[in-house]
A and B are shown apart, each in its own frame.
Chain A
């Protein structure tokens, strides 16, 4: 049974045991040191998490790059830290089918996130709880970039399936006041709209510092009626995740092991200047008027650890976090209609670039698979550059993908541009913002009834090569 983490701290211990966490014991400045370390860790092969024990002016510690390498990502899944991207992709898919795994609801006295309580709004000071810092130089303030945020459907507040756990950026605007980016196509905006029509507050819990699979699922695009906690249990290979009721709202459940839980409400029909903020496409989104939250109640663990992520020119931690949690839902959706699909690599800029490997059932099949991607909810808006490769090409192996592009593409027939489609406004090349032209490159081998006048025989590996792979690895490890 794979290792499972019910909180951040147990995962940090595992990272450290595996040489994937470094501690900086000397005192650092909040700016620019913590973000600089986040960038640096992403530049390093198999980058570790970086834990700062002492941040000038603050009492508690901060950790960054927790998800920021394939090694850390593998350990999150309880796999060996050397597991390849493709192995992790297939393992996540295998566990995905266990959904739903109902979470375990703990009693208040059992939940570590309830160790300490601040129940008066005037006693709440985010600057005392979290070592807040600026992530990118032109950001409009200090942001939480990795919080898991829980809200419910205002029309069906007790519908557990419609409980939403999502990641939305949070700008700290005061001791107990924050901004939130709730883009219109995200689940929280559905709930917000219903409440704002009635001028009602939206009860909300912002949780910081969670077990890695909770954060993972909070940033995964699943259906509105699917509960993210039930996916966490599935990805824990059947082990339920532990949650607990929030103090203020009986229908909102938070991860029991969270470092800090901020409970409050979105102020209805209020918008205030928010941002800029450096976003995942590697550039800043400018200032807009966005929602505001008042925090009225806090619970937290003793000596809470502030977990935050750096995002910069890809790849940084956010790319690792989004890589397979974008690829897996797309794979699941496309495979349902086309079982020939072998794997989906939607790791580039949250799926704006996508490579799909498929068997070719008949002439033109590659294009059909591309169209199916473009008709999924996520693929439709996000995916812009789509490459389809044969089933013997690993879409996670970019040199192999380049081989396919260089030997199996006839640009006169295999490359198409479809203008005036939905697009992703944060893509700086989307113009007008929110519109894309789609590029499809079909790098599959032609099949009947498409003629293949240059049919060739691929070079099969010599008999016994697996035996030699194992032997050579063994000899190298013994050297």
Chain B
């Protein structure tokens, strides 16, 4: 299984339906996109992520320098 957003292949099942056996939730451990097995994820081009892009995304809020 590949991540619909970043094409990563480190996918984990983070949840199964507590009632009945009706869905699972998957999460990509590279970009943390998550989706349910009942969804058909279709990520628009502007929201797709390449692994290299992740390290360039804005950091909110900025991490301050450590006190001496």
Report the Cα distance A161→B48, complex, angstroms.
43
| In contact, B34 and A138 (Cβ under 8 angstroms) | no
Q: Is the CB of A289 within 8 A of B60?
A: yes
B2: Cβ under 8 A from any A Cβ? no
Q: Are A175 and B14 in contact (CB under 8 A)?
A: yes
Q: Known contacts A57-B23, A182-B61, A289-B57: does B14 contact A142 (CB below 8 Å)?
A: no
- The answer to the question of A410 belonging to the interface, with a C-beta cut-off of 8 Å to chain B, is no
Hey, what's the 0/1 contact readout for B45-68 against A, CB within 8 Å counting as 1? 011010000100111111111110
Q: What is the bound-complex CA distance between A181 and B44, given in angstroms?
A: 22
Closest to B31 in A: A273
Q: A173's closest neighbor in chain B, by CB? A: B32
Looking at chain B, what size class is its interface with the partner chain? 35 or more
Of the residues B25, B31, B61, B67, contact of A127 by C-beta under 8 Å? B25
Chain A residues, CB < 8 A from B54: 273, 289
Name the distance in Å between A164's Cβ and chain B's nearest Cβ.
Answer: 15
A141 & B60 in contact (Cβ 8 Å cutoff): no
In the A-B complex, the 3 residue pairs with the smallest Cβ-Cβ separation, listed nearest first, are: A57-B17, A127-B15, A141-B34
Nearest Cβ distance between residue B59 and chain A, in whole angstroms? Answer: 5
Contact A31 B19 (CB under 8 A): no
A56 interface residue per 8 A CB criterion: yes
A-B contact count (CB 8 A): 110
Is residue B7 within 8 Å, beta carbon to beta carbon, of the partner chain? no
Residue of A nearest to B48 (CB): A287
Minimum distance in angstroms from B13 CB to a CB of chain A: 11
With CB as the reference atom, state the residue of chain B lying closest to A177: B14
Q: Does A172 lie at the interface of the complex (its beta carbon under 8 Å from any beta carbon of B)?
A: yes
Verify if A193 is at the interface (C-beta below 8 Å from B): yes
In the complex, the answer to whether A197 meets B65 with C-beta atoms within 8 Å is: yes
A187 to B68, alpha carbons, bound, how many Å?
A: 24
A residues near B15, Cβ cutoff 8 Å: 125, 127, 175
Do B60 and A138 touch (CB < 8 A)? no
Q: Contact between B66 and A199 (Cβ–Cβ < 8 Å)?
A: yes
Q: Is A201 positioned at the interface, with any CB of B under 8 Å from its CB?
A: no
Contacting B at CB under 8 A, from A286-319, are 286-290
**Contacts known (A286-B47, A289-B57); A140 close to B32, Cβ less than 8 A:** yes
Chain A's nearest CB lies how many Å from the CB of B34? 4
Residues of B within 8 A of A290 (CB): 59-60
Bitwise interface map of A from 170 to 194 toward B, beta carbon under 8 Å scored 1, else 0: 0111110001011110000100110
Q: Known: A31-B36, A290-B60. Is A128-B47 also a contact (CB below 8 A)? A: no
- Is A58 a contact partner of B60 (Cβ separation < 8 A)? no
Which residues of B are found within 8 Å of A269, using beta-carbon distances?
63
Task: Give every chain B residue within 8 A of A29 (Cβ-Cβ).
Answer: 38
Q: Let me know if A289 and B32 touch, CB within 8 A.
A: no
